[in-house]
Amino acid sequence: QKEVEQNSGPLSVPEGAIASLNCTYSDRGSQSFFWYRQYSGKSPELIMFIYSNGDKEDGRFTAQLNKASQYVSLLIRDSQPSDSATYLCAVNGRDKIIFGKGTRLHILP
C-alpha cells in the first residue's frame, strides 16, 4: 500500500465550479497534513495545512480531515483558470514528510 495516495487526474472542472481533490494515507499516527500547489516548471507552494479533524477554510480553499478514515481533501470554490496546476498532498509521518504524486487539475474556461 502506498503511503500517500492521490488520483493522478487530470481532473477537469468548469470555471466557477467546486474542485474536489482527495488524498488517503496509510500511517494512522500522522498528525499534520498539507496541500501544495505546483505550476508546471515551478516548485511546490504551500496553500493549506490542517492538523485537526474537520474543516479548515482559507478564502476559496477548504481543507477537510478525517483521521478515522485516513482521508484528507481540498475543496476549491469558484474555480479559476489560474487554479489549473498539480496539487500535492503531504503527510507528516514518523520522521519525514511524505508526498503523494499529485493530482493534475484543469479548470475549463
What residues line the site for another protein (CB under 8 A)? 29, 31-32, 34, 36, 42-46, 49, 51, 88, 90, 92-102
Task: List Cβ neighbours of 16 (8 Å cut-off, separation of 6 or more).
Answer: 78, 79
Q: How far is the CB of 57 from another protein (least distance, A)?
A: 18
ω before 109 within 30° of 0 (cis)? no
Residue 82 phi/psi, 5-degree rounding, is: -70, -10
Between residues 79 and 86, which has the closer beta carbon with respect to another protein? 86
Residue 50 phi/psi, 5-degree rounding, is: -145, 140
Q: How far is the CB of 49 from another protein (least distance, A)?
A: 6
Q: How far is the CB of 56 from another protein (least distance, A)?
A: 13
Q: How far is the CB of 101 from another protein (least distance, A)?
A: 4
Between residues 79 and 102, which has the closer beta carbon with respect to another protein? 102
Between residues 75 and 98, which has the closer beta carbon with respect to another protein? 98
Q: Contact, 81 vs 91, CB < 8 A?
A: no
> How far is Cα of residue 21 from the mean position of the Cα atoms in its chain?
6
C-alpha cell at 83: 487554479
